Chains A and B, each alone.
Chain A
């Protein structure tokens, strides 16, 4: 049905060998023909990013997903560096920078803290959406449509069944994606 992969999942995790949630999510989407899964730290362990290759990957995708755990209210550092070197003027924005126009963008993130820690009276003091705004704005600045994120919170001791269900939901979320159509938002 799909001639070529149209979903690009960019991924980073500093300790994937200890991860449960992201491991399960990766396993759940492996083998999906329309998904290109791209582990940034595995490809660029020393942060020397092949810019042309990354830009080519982005051009080919219609739906771009950042999959990662939330570290310090954001993405693992290589995502930031990736933004700095790949989303350049003339490619992602500015004059002639239209490569990402009209694409869709979403986050698939997990947090260690439970949802109620991300409230005015919780230790993180702000809702998670607040911390995700730089990504929302990045998408907007590059002319992409920002879709509601797929979130799993409380990763430190979630039961296996919940993690497995989340992984299945992730797979479904990607499978349900239709070009030009917003995929359903999920938040646990």
Chain B
């Protein structure tokens, strides 16, 4: 099957995924198992449509990198800091305990002690990709078990670094030079991570702002990917975990206003590459080896899962996870992980492990990855129902905060609405695509998302399904209509308020179900008109009444006109097309209305029961 172009491979991958994943989810087994099985089918041991999975695996690892970047985006530094205990405590105990237990088991199987220790370390790590995918897919990440799993996976990602460093030392290869070079690489690593922290915090935001100012969506996507790729490459060069580096970058951008734009841009790539990764894992299961020594492989897979699950179960009990979640917690993190592939490869390269052992371990890890989704489904179907109590969300690792009001467009108009609400303690989330607006309002503590409200993903990310009101305050009439249409379609519970350009736009907005529409210039013009009346000698009260009356008349007129607008296509066309037609119509009605009233004293002609006496209330408590 060599010689097929890359396009053919892409075709095979997509086809396999499109067939296998829906089947698997339909059977209640989740997407991960679907991808893995698809990989088995198209791989060397299936119909062998793709010969060598290794390159693909390598490429698809980038999916894990993107996954970690996205997770980082959900966790701002404060939240990460709040998680430090579970990360260090749970994570540390899991890695140490499991390494010891699995290393012991490997000794029993006849591994040499150093190889056994390396195997123990490699297998102690769980699959971030599978674990998090399983948890997010089943919406379990916000549970206590999900949070604990996440902490451990994060610690494991960090633990890979010293593990990679210690393997050559264990192998006893040139300890002096190795130690020396390790010091060097330690400092390089520290410098690079420091660079990422500084760069992520300041430089990246600046660049994002510049890119955003071009208003080219694809350029923003390109830059997002470039950002992740370049950090991954940087980490690779200094020999650190790419996933860890991008995770860090994600964390640093988590409280930036571009977070959701980045999220929605990277998300599809992550999904595809992660799927590809799972397919590649499925392909790399060496069934030849499995068939050669089925007993041993089976024993090792079961042993691996049992030992890891046992340690995790103990940890879960010890940390006081809810009973109903302990099994889940133990299962999710029980398979071997993608880092095992890396570690055993390094171990073989260091000379401390035989290539045969590597093939065996890789096979065992891959198989364990396949059994986990299955086990989890069994757990959900048979074990969890015994604990009738629903699992309450315990920690909001990835929960968004939700404001009751969204404002789309934060220019001259939206700002005033926003300031008024803000001043009265109403939580407001702002969507705007002008970097200058964003920068300004972010300083005042608004929650700001970069992008315009015509994007469904952005509206969702900003919490449109939880908010009560959406104020459409963009300065482009067409865009305002698009946002209203989109919001009405996808968030029917959201009450819409809109800024309208002119009368025709008022009607169009009303057609889109916008509950409150305000012409952008109307109130300001009335205010100025009122002052003009005062300058001409009207009393303030008189002028105010005149304005009230005019407004009431105009609103009534507008309501009548809207009815015509809805009923009569010709009127509709005339109103929509010509501002002059509208004005003429309005002025004619004004004449009819005010002509009749102008001479009459429209104020009260109440000369009845005299002037009121003022009430003086000295020394009284107001009753």
Interface of A toward B, CB cutoff 8 Å: 46, 48, 50-51, 70-74, 80, 84-85, 87-89, 92-94, 111-113, 117, 123-124, 137-138, 141
Contact present for B622 and A85 (CB under 8 Å)? no
Contact B606 A50, beta carbon cutoff 8 Å: no
Cβ of B5 under 8 Å from chain A:
no
Residues of chain A with a CB closer than 8 A to B617's CB:
72-73
Interchain CB contact under 8 A, A80 and B623: no
* 5 closest Cβ pairs, A-B complex: A48-B548, A85-B604, A111-B623, A72-B615, A112-B623
Contacts A48-B548, A112-B623 given; indicate if A74 touches B615 (C-beta within 8 A). Answer: yes
In the bound complex, CA of A41 to CA of B603 (Å): 20
- State whether A84 touches B606 (Cβ < 8 A): yes
Q: Mark B579-623, 1 if CB is under 8 A from A, else 0.
A: 000000000000000000000000111111100100101011111
Chain A residues whose C-beta falls within 8 Å of the C-beta of B545 in the assembled complex:
48
Q: Kindly provide the distance from the CB of B613 to the nearest chain A CB, expressed in whole angstroms.
A: 9
Interface check B552, CB cutoff 8 A: yes
A48, A88, A123: which contacts B621 (Cβ < 8 A)? A123
Across-interface contacts of B623 in A (CB, < 8 A): 70-73, 111-113, 117, 124
Q: Do A72 and B608 have beta carbons less than 8 Å apart?
A: no
Q: Which among B604, B621, B623 has the highest number of chain A CB atoms within 10 Å?
A: B623
Bound: A88/B619 CA distance, A:
35
Which residues of the other chain, B, contact A74 by a CB distance below 8 angstroms? 615
Contact B608 A46 (CB under 8 A): no
Q: Assess whether A84 is in contact with B604, with CB atoms less than 8 Å apart.
A: yes
Q: Is the CB of A80 within 8 A of B612?
A: yes
Residues of B within 8 A of A46 (CB): 548
| Chain B residues, CB < 8 A from A51 | 604
Q: Which of these, B548, B552, B605, B612, contacts A88 with CB under 8 Å?
A: B605
Q: List 28 A-B residue pairs with CB atoms under 8 Å apart, sorted by A's residue number.
A: A48-B545, A48-B549, A48-B552, A50-B552, A51-B604, A70-B623, A71-B623, A72-B622, A72-B623, A73-B623, A80-B612, A85-B603, A85-B604, A87-B608, A88-B604, A88-B606, A88-B608, A89-B607, A92-B608, A111-B623, A112-B621, A112-B622, A112-B623, A117-B623, A123-B619, A123-B620, A123-B621, A141-B609
Total number of residue pairs linking A and B with CB closer than 8 Å: 53
Bits for B549-591, please: 1 = Cβ < 8 Å to A, else 0.
1001000000000000000000000000000000000000000
Q: A39 CA to B607 CA in the complex, in Å?
A: 26
In the bound complex, residues from chain B placing their C-beta under 8 Å from that of A117 are 623
In the bound complex, how far is the Cα of B545 from the Cα of A96, in angstroms? 27
Decide: A141 near B622, CB < 8 A? Known: A48-B548, A48-B552.
no
A94 near B620 (CB under 8 angstroms)?
no
Nearest CB of chain B from residue A94's CB, rounded to whole Å? 7
Q: Given the complex of chains A and B, what is the CA–CA distance between A71 and B604 in angstroms?
A: 25
B609 CB to closest chain A CB, in angstroms?
6
A113 lies within 8 A of B621 (CB): yes
Q: Chain A residues with Cβ under 8 A from B604's Cβ?
A: 51, 84-85, 88
CA of A132 to CA of B566, assembled, Å = 52
Cα(A88)–Cα(B607), bound, Å: 8
A23 to chain B, nearest CB (A): 18
| C-alpha gap A54/B55 in the complex (Å) | 81
Least Cβ–Cβ distance between B211 and chain A, in angstroms: 46
CA distance A113 to B622 in the complex (A): 9
Query: Is A141 within 8 A of B548, CB to CB?
Result: no
The answer to whether A71 and B552 touch across the interface, beta carbons within 8 angstroms, is no
**A72: B residues at CB distance < 8 A:** 615, 617, 622-623
A46-B548, A48-B548, A48-B552 given as contacts; is B606 within 8 A of A87 (CB)?
yes
For B607, the chain A residues whose CB sits under 8 A away are: 89
- Cα(A124)–Cα(B615), bound, Å: 13
**Cβ contacts under 8 Å, A70 to chain B:** 623
From A112, which residue of chain B is reached at the shortest CB distance? B623
Beyond A85-B604, A88-B606: 14 further Cβ-contacts under 8 Å?
A48-B545, A48-B552, A50-B552, A51-B604, A70-B623, A72-B615, A73-B615, A88-B608, A89-B608, A94-B608, A112-B622, A113-B623, A117-B623, A123-B619
Distance in Å from the Cβ of A119 to the closest Cβ of chain B? 13
| Measured CA separation A168–B603 after assembly (Å) | 40
- The interface residues of chain B lying within 8 Å CB-to-CB of A93 are 608
Once the chains are docked, how many angstroms separate the CA of A88 from the CA of B602? 12
Output the residue of B608, B615, B622 with the most chain A CB within 10 A. Answer: B608
Instruction: Report the bound CA distance from A71 to B620 in whole Å.
Output: 11
Residues of chain B within 8 A of A48, CB atoms compared = 545, 548-549, 552
A141→B548 CA distance, assembly (Å) = 30
B607 closest partner in A (C-beta)? A89
Cα separation A151 to B227 with both chains bound (whole Å): 72
On whether the beta carbons of B612 and A71 are closer than 8 Å, the reply is no
Q: Could you tell me if A89 and B548 are in contact, using CB atoms closer than 8 angstroms? A: no
B191 CB, min distance to chain A CBs, angstroms: 58
User: Which residue in chain A gives the minimum CB-CB distance to B613?
Assistant: A134
How far apart sit A74 and B623, CA to CA, in the bound complex (Å)? 9
Give the CA-CA distance A105 to B547 in the complex, in Å: 34
**Nearest CB of A to B556, in Å:** 11
Q: How far is the CB of B526 from chain A (nearest CB, A)?
A: 12
Residue of B545, B548, B549, B604 contacting most chain A CB atoms (<10 Å): B604
Q: A92's closest neighbor in chain B, by CB?
A: B608
A134 to B542, CA, bound (A): 27
Q: In the assembled complex, how far is the CB of residue B331 from the closest CB belonging to chain A, in whole angstroms?
A: 51
Assembly CA distance A164 to B623 (angstroms): 21
CA distance A46 to B547 in the complex (A): 12
Could you say which residues of chain A place their CB within 8 Å of the CB of B606?
84-85, 87-89
Complex Cα–Cα for A158 and B500 (A): 49
Residues of chain A within 8 A (CB-CB) of B612 are 80
Minimum CB distance partner of B617 in chain A: A72
Give the residue name and chain of the B residue nearest to A70 (CB).
B623
What chain B residues lie within 8 Å of A84 (beta carbons)? 604, 606
- How far is B621's CA from A135's CA once the two chains are assembled, in angstroms? 22
B residues in contact with A94, CB < 8 Å: 608
Q: How far is the CB of B203 from chain A (nearest CB, A)?
A: 49
| B547 nearest in chain A by CB position | A48
In the bound assembly, the distance between CA atoms of A141 and B610 in angstroms comes to: 13
Per the bound structure, the CA–CA distance linking A51 and B603 in Å amounts to 10
**Cα-based distance from A112 to B621 in the complex (angstroms):** 9
- B340 CB to closest chain A CB, in angstroms? 62
When the two chains form their complex, are residues A124 and B608 in contact, meaning their CB atoms are under 8 A apart? no
User: Closest approach, in angstroms, between the C-beta of B353 and any C-beta of chain A?
Assistant: 73
Q: What separation, in Å, do the CA atoms of A93 and B610 have in the docked complex?
A: 13
